[in-house]
């Protein structure tokens, strides 16, 4: 039987737990609408959360799928790194279940605090859809104001793996990327399999309309398959009118860049493979919306 339940989680923060009849489950904290767990029917945990993650309702949860909006990085110092979405209290805006999936939606819109940092009217909707064979997460950005705004948006997914030194990411060949560690780029990725043998921070610019299929592999084993997509919608709740290329970020800090809430050797247990609109500036017209979606297949 599918279910959706609100409870008190770590640090006294509220969370939603989705359970599917197949045994699959997911957990999403209302703090930042941060998904912190996705277990498939075998019980395998597909998402990494740092053992030192802080659940205090002040700091972004280290791990899971933090949501990045309206900025990627911190070009605007008036806003936190990666924007305010992941350090805001979201509301549960809906639950839905049918024979195939159980879903929850979460909402965040502009308020006095966000407008003080970023003077635009917006609404975010985060959809989490759990089914027997996959987890779909969709971040929808809506311009509810009367003037266009520039933004970036991304799902900062921490994929759990046994050892980052042994995995590679497939699906990025021929995409142009900026290497934020070396400063090189943009250069074209020549490899079918991109390994992550050291501190890695790369922004791959989407080049293809439609889905970007990526997989995290270790020899013959595929740990995760991910389908990234981005779409423009003519109205906040309207059907997508046009697909757009989805960018992908690959990150692992290794020991040298591990932040305090990610004490080594925790870096070994994940690779971040992140769908978003971050490789260039994006503008959203009033009354329009854009989706950044990932389908995670364990």
Question: What would the 3-class secondary structure string for 175-215 be?
Answer: CEEEECCCCCCCEECCCCEEECCCCEEEEEECCCCCCEEEE
In whole angstroms, the minimum distance from the beta carbon of 203 to ligand TA6 comes to 8
Check residue 227 for interaction with ligand TA6 (CB under 6 A).
no
Whose CA is closest to 281, among 247, 231, 256? Answer: 247
User: Contact with ligand TA6 (CB under 6 A): which of 81, 235, 237, 280?
Assistant: 81
**Structure letter (DSSP) for residue 74:** -
Is 245 or 275 the residue whose CB approaches ligand TA6 more closely? Answer: 275
* Residue least distant from ligand TA6 (Cβ): 251
User: Contact with ligand TA6 (CB under 6 A): which of 15, 20, 39, 82?
Assistant: 82
Residues 22-61 close enough to bind ligand TA6 by CB under 6 A: 60
Angstrom distance (rounded) from CA 232 to CA 249: 20
Q: How many CA atoms lie within 13 A of 97 on its CB side?
A: 12
User: Contact with ligand TA6 (CB under 6 A): which of 14, 180, 225, 268?
Assistant: 180
Check residue 249 for interaction with ligand TA6 (CB under 6 A).
yes
User: Contact with ligand TA6 (CB under 6 A): which of 94, 119, 186, 259?
Assistant: 259
Is 45 or 201 the residue whose CB approaches ligand TA6 more closely? Answer: 201
Strand partners, 178: 203
Contact 191, 205 (CB under 8 A): no
Check residue 255 for interaction with ligand TA6 (CB under 6 A).
no
Q: How many CA atoms lie within 13 A of 135 on its CB side?
A: 31
How many residues touch ligand TA6 (CB under 6 A)? 12
User: Contact with ligand TA6 (CB under 6 A): which of 251, 254, 267, 270?
Assistant: 251
Is 148 or 259 the residue whose CB approaches ligand TA6 more closely? Answer: 259
**Binding string, residues 194-213; x marks residues near ligand TA6 by CB under 6 A:** -------x------------
Q: Please state, in angstroms and as integers, the Cα–Cα distance from residue 8 to each residue in 12, 14, 47, 63, following that order.
A: 6, 5, 20, 19
Is 8 or 78 the residue whose CB approaches ligand TA6 more closely? Answer: 78
Contact 291, 154 (CB under 8 A): no
User: Contact with ligand TA6 (CB under 6 A): which of 27, 40, 274, 291?
Assistant: 274
**Binding string, residues 106-145; x marks residues near ligand TA6 by CB under 6 A:** ----------------------------------------
Region for 282 from its dihedrals, namely left if φ exceeds 0, alpha if ψ lies in -120 to 50, beta otherwise: beta
**Is 188 exposed, middle or buried, given 0-12, 13-18 or 19+ CB atoms closer than 10 A?**
exposed
Question: Please, which residues have CB within 8 angstroms of residue 138's CB and are 6 or more apart in sequence?
Answer: 125, 126, 127, 129, 291, 292, 293, 294
Is 233 or 272 the residue whose CB approaches ligand TA6 more closely? Answer: 272
Residue 286 CB coordination number (10 Å): 13
**Structure letter (DSSP) for residue 288:** -
Is 119 or 260 the residue whose CB approaches ligand TA6 more closely? Answer: 260
In whole angstroms, the minimum distance from the beta carbon of 84 to ligand TA6 comes to 12
Contacting positions for ligand TA6 (CB under 6 A): 60, 73, 81-82, 156, 180, 201, 249, 251, 259, 272, 274
């Amino acid at each position: 039987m599918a279910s959706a339940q609100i409870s008190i989680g770590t640090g006294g923060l509220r969370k939603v737990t989705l359970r599917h009849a197949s045994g699959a489950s997911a957990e999403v904290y209302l703090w930042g609408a941060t998904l912190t767990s996705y277990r498939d029917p075998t019980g395998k945990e597909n998402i990494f959360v740092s053992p030192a993650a802080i659940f205090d309702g002040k700091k972004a949860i280290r791990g899971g799928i933090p949501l990045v909006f309206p900025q990627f990085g911190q070009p605007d110092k008036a806003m936190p790194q990666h924007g305010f979405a992941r350090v805001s209290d979201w509301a549960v805006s809906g639950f839905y279940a049918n024979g195939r999936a159980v879903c929850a939606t979460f909402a965040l819109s502009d308020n006095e605090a966000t407008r003080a940092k970023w003077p635009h009217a917006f609404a975010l909707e985060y959809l989490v859809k759990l089914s027997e064979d996959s987890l779909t997460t969709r971040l929808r950005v809506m311009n509810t104001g009367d003037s266009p705004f520039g933004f970036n948006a991304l799902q900062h997914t921490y994929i759990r793996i046994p050892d980052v030194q042994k995995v590679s990411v497939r699906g990025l060949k021929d995409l142009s990327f900026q290497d934020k560690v070396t400063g090189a780029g943009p250069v074209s990725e020549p490899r079918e399999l991109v390994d992550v043998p050291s501190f890695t921070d790369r922004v791959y610019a989407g080049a293809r309309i439609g889905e970007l299929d990526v997989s995290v592999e270790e020899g013959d084993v595929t740990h995760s398959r991910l389908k990234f997509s981005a779409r423009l919608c003519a109205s906040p709740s309207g059907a997508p009118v046009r697909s757009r290329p989805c960018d992908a970020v690959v990150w692992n800090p290794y020991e040298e860049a591990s932040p305090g809430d990610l004490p080594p050797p925790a870096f070994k247990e994940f690779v971040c493979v992140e769908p978003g609109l971050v490789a260039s500036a994006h503008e959203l017209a009033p009354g329009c919306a854009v989706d950044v979606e990932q389908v995670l297949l364990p």
